[in-house]
Structure 1
């Protein structure tokens, strides 16, 4: 009897848990395509009626509704059960329904370095005239720290009259915190009566509590601040790419990430507010592979670009593996990351041999990299030990070698410098390894790490440096050949004009784009390693050297840092050419990029291997040249409609997404192969079997001045095994012929078994307009719309 009662209790518990699972509610985004009245602040009751049609009678619409999208596109976010979400997806007018996913952040000298790269140096700000309108950069990120000097408005003119945004107030943010530089600030929290904050544990406010948004905003458009540094490192003038630009901050991210529903709200408001450029240093991890109709960034960016806004996004930090690039829709300008010519050196000094009387002669200096403010003595007096020799009894040898948490015997490392490996599996962070050593009484950490070469890790006051495996072998040999090995770790010094630079850093996500191999992504690369920019006033005290005040600036790495570099360049182009649309701005940036480094050699990865357009797209941005591109490749919404047809979407879905011209239908011959004909500043051809030729068309627009020679001739750089022909070989522009078309014919001269890269360059003697191409034998994943 007792068994039966117990069994019945377990059954009832199981049934109740199933019922709870079925009835569990999550926030879903309901995307309904174009907004019927995009400039109307009070849409009809269609959203409420649609939501009510799927709710249980006991549920109230006002409590289920989280927010509406009504400016650039139509839709809403609501708390729904999985069953209700599935039901609403079948309703007329609904493009897609997807759960409110959590996206992640892609987390001075850089601008000087980019100018140094230029053959002809033009100050980007001087290229615009006093009468040029100031561009407005919208930053969708973690908010902003308004007190930073980077956002001061001294000598700035009135706020542009086209600006329609607001400066939202909160308990720690006043309307007066905005000014003529920081002209807008918004944040997003749940609109339900309970006022539950979307990001739990965060204060609903535009104020940045993480620092990421402040850093990216100042990189894109911060004022020039002389004497900036990170506790004496990277000393110089900190400035944004467009120092004249206005900034609008949209806080869509917080401590736990960035909600899709908040990102879409940021897009929706920014479109109505009147921004010119949108900068997003965030995105989905590569493994999620969201499709365009369920990717909040792709959705928001489509409607922003449709309204003339240039959208710049980070490519992601999942490199160096191929097919990891994200934010790769053709209407997005996608940015990878490179190094600059600055190196943060923290050397290891090894002691001499115990048996040698002239020990100073035997001291060896091993170059390391890292950001630390070590207070160790400069003489090598500290005992040196390998992590594997300090294994805790409960640990494995492999964990001890890597100094993983709970792997070291504190009695064996106390007072010593520890040499550790950093395995490639990224199971534990550098911080966790550092804490394992410091908590056990170790006085310093030498970490062998080839993957993160060129990216200095900041360990604050704790002595820590990174070495390559080649240099690590020298230290191991010293330990094994010396009875009492000793060493010290020196504090960091900045080394400028380090060569070669740029290199494509390992973490930068790579192409080809997983959803279509007929579109080359990323588009461009820019500095993203150890970038000095503004920081929040409540920064981590553990990073502050003894006796110093918290720094107003910080050094960060990631495609998060490269993205705002391009946003700043885009803002300068928009200021110089207000009538240019997003595609012309993108083209100017891409076709003037460089694929060589400071040694005038081809760009490499930071491991030294040759880099390809799958790594860097068109190349490293050239801010000056981008202001004078000569020719541009232009696309509009109709071109993107054709892209969606070729990608696989049905015309019924496309008509929901946006307005289509009367009579527009997807052609019967729509195919992913035809994506290669999208009028893009790069060319990608897939499924090239080496048996037949493929032809690709492009159209260029002459934007040079009347004084410039209007005849352009072509030069081709092609790999062995591939014949490339351009027809015609000369383009002659006139007053009546501003746009001219050409074809590129790819023919095999041998079997194709690997990706082949090259470029096509048009030149009139003054401008060089370079278009990279990739020809591949492989295809890509397809989608049914």
Structure 2
């Protein structure tokens, strides 16, 4: 049982008898998180903090101060604390009554691809575009979005509060003063800001706790917040590129920033503190563009995001998270808990074109962001990396990739260098810098996978091309003794096709934590995103003669996450009483699966995208406002999920505020996770020898109380999929109806992954649920 593994790890680490440490120098102390589940009934925050201190005192040596050891006390949305402990003390505290899990404070990373800069046109939809009334939340809704991120730059024009009403009276948050940040830095748009460093010298020896202000030091938090809920800003651009109106998806929503990320990452203890405060402060939604590494995905009871989100959702707060940037490899996504809305990243219909012009004025299309000062005429010598190999380089092809130290400077000086790039290669940024320092006048990178990602090189002339385009260039270079060319400055191309396309970096399913849940949930724009940024201090990022741009082009699932948060805020504002599960369902079941060529969505390689790539599809803000049917899931559903996942009732009663005497069903099994009332369906270990039955309950939220929905099924030939009943008749007195989906194999055995969908329609609404069946 995975839940017990967390404590078991600590027990196994404590292999030496305690007496062996007698007389030795005090063991190394590190930050541990002690998670104690739901807040006990009738417990005050002060009472819980005292309980946490008493628990600490019980494991500390005489003379040690629990107050100085304690970092954070979580006592609003859930119970627990973070403290600096020795391994021995951590093991001892894990054995105490009421403790769910004890784990080393993990450092999570932002889900932005740092060397990629991109364009975004706000309010982009692929096959539907909401009118102004549908695209904006009612001004009276006052939806509050909380961001766990790097902080905020309050002076950004995206956070102006012009024409906004008074701050909602239910808001209980604060605007914390800090370095270069005062309580007056907030306004009626940015209504709250917190940060999570500590003033205790013992508790702050690491760089990640160096932040002493809610002010954004990296730009990431400013970018995500403005993407989701920024005010309209006229004539926004990145040095003239992507010029237009910049605005968030829900311009009437309020913003609350919780700075949990610092120089070295985002500590789990701070993430939990942010969740704890956000729940108390009164946010309606949370946007979390960060996560664990795909190589170190903790169990739900040891994952700060899963823990915090669980208790936020229990309080009616929708939590939207990024899927991660570890694509395109399979099973690479994170933030897979079923109470989280997990978002993948796609491109938009805009490209940054930087062409290569060859001798004879033949133009080859490329893409990147550069403000090239080269002549437009092809007068610069071209050379392939392999041809510039130094005498000391090996013959393994590394020179063709322009790897560090492989090229002879004298051979590339004054020339444009053509270089290969493959997945796993060293950073293009560093290799480009070496080419520049060696005297090259420009660089052309060859990468089919990354051609759709417009890296930013500013004043140095660089572009990226496909392998097909590279063949044309190499053919020209081989046909003439003195090949020449040039790289043109970037221009913006609109109505680019096909779009959307799954971003190559976007992490993919299936989920390794709970294979009975299909993840990601949806996809949204995460490439070429233009949004607010902090003033630049590095002049190398500013083109000659320009001032630092207040907007920047950034890419990653960090950017797709706030798109969906903005949509969720709009859905919430139109339907204030809807639960997080209903909001998630509305977004998922109305998503689209076609691009602007009216063809199926594709991945970066050109293959048809599957639910492991895009979940239910590309988010559609207009359709999500009126989904027709939704799939509800509340605390009891998640209790059953945790029972099926393997948590015993004793631990479940600690994690969740379960009813008195709650017991897990006797038949609890991981095979029953598929029965969670989710808007999508996932089945694992399907042999085909027996049929698999999955249950769902649909709730009518349409304007018509009397409605009849008929089902249609799209399935692969290897599967026979039956839905019983095949019609659902809703009435004023019957708003919830159940049905079963029966999966049977049409062949003797089922191997690999099979995908399809189930769609209910009343002639107006189309309520689609994708499914994924994994054979053995």
TM-score where L is the length of structure 1: 0.93
Alignment check: 8 A CA contact 1:370 1:465 kept: yes
Give 1:5's aligned residue: none
For residue 722 of structure 2, what is the aligned residue in structure 1?
A: 725
Contact 1:197/1:204 (<8 A) preserved: no
Distance 1:600 1:22, change over 3 A: farther
Deviations 1:163-203 (A, max 9, x none): 00000011210111100000000000125355737544844
- Aligned residue for 2:228, secondary structure, equals helix
Q: Please say if residues 120 and 527 of structure 2, whose CA atoms lie closer than 8 Å, have aligned partners that are also in contact.
A: no
Matched, 1:50 2:55: yes
Matched with 1:359 is none
Q: In structure 2, what is the equivalent of residue 35 of structure 1?
A: 39
Q: Deviations over 1:372-431 (max 9, x none)?
A: 0000000111111122222234433433222222332222221111111113213x2111
Deviation at 1:39, TM superposition (A): 8.0
Please show how residues 381-530 of structure 1 align to structure 2 within 5 Å.
381-397=379-395, 398-426=397-425, 428-530=426-528
Which deviations, in whole Å up to 9, do the C-alpha atoms of 1:117-137 show, x marking residues without a partner?
Answer: 21x73436566445x421000
Task: Choose the corresponding residue for 2:331, options 323, 331, 344.
Answer: 323
Map of 1:24 onto structure 2? 28
Confirm or deny: 8 A CA contact 2:371 2:459 kept in the other structure: yes
Deviation, 1:255, is 2.2
Give RMSD over aligned pairs: 1.9
Cα contact 1:65–1:77 (8 A) shared by 2: yes
Match for residue 89 of structure 1 among 85, 94, 104: 94
**Compared with structure 1, are the counterparts of its residues 384 and 127 closer, same or farther at alpha carbon in structure 2 (3 Å cutoff)?**
closer
**Contact 1:34/1:656 (CA < 8 Å) preserved in 2?**
yes
1:375 touches 1:491 (CA, 8 Å); kept in 2?
yes
Match of 1:4 in 2: none
Superposed displacement of residue 709, structure 1: 5.3
Report deviation, 1:547.
0.9
Q: Report Cα offsets for 1:640-667 as digits up to 9, x if no partner.
A: 0100000111111111101112332111
TM-superposition CA deviations, 1:655-706 (whole Å, max 9, x none): 1101112332111211111111100000111121111111111001111114
CA distance in 2, matches of 1:69, 1:186: 15
Spell out the pairing of 1:178-577 with structure 2 (5 A cutoff). 178-192=186-200, 196=204, 199-200=207-208, 202-351=210-359, 362-397=360-395, 398-426=397-425, 428-577=426-575
Q: What does 1:605-624 align with in structure 2 at a 5 Å threshold? A: 605-624=603-622
Q: Equivalent of 2:124, from 96, 113, 119? A: 113
Q: Partner residue of 2:741?
A: 744
Bigger Cα displacement from structure 2, 381-390 vs 430-439: 381-390
Instruction: Structure 1: state its 5+ residue gaps.
Output: 1-15, 352-361, 779-785
CA spacing shift, 1:604–1:413, aligned 2, 3 Å: same
Query: Which of 68, 72, 78 is 1:67 aligned to?
Result: 72
Instruction: In structure 2, list runs of 5 or more residues that go unmatched.
Output: 1-19, 113-118
**Structure 1 range deviating more: 30-39 or 462-471:** 30-39
- 1:123 matches 2:132: yes
1:657 and 1:63 map into 2 onto residues whose CA distance is 27
Contact 2:197 2:209 in 1 (8 A): no
Partner Cα distance (1:596, 1:552) in 2? 34
Instruction: Give the Cα separation in 2 of the matches to 1:20 and 1:532.
Output: 56
Kept in 2: contact 1:686–1:776 (CA 8 A): yes
Tell me what 2:694 maps to: 696
Matches of 1:471 and 1:126 in 2, distance apart?
40
What SS does structure 2 have at the residue aligned with 1:248?
strand
CA distance in 2, matches of 1:424, 1:532: 26
Contact 1:123 1:624 in 2 (8 A): no
Maintained 8 Å contact 2:100/2:654: yes
Q: State how far apart, in whole Å, the 2-side matches of 1:216 and 1:150 are.
A: 11
Q: Are the aligned partners of 1:685 and 1:776 in contact in 2 as well (CA < 8 Å)? A: yes
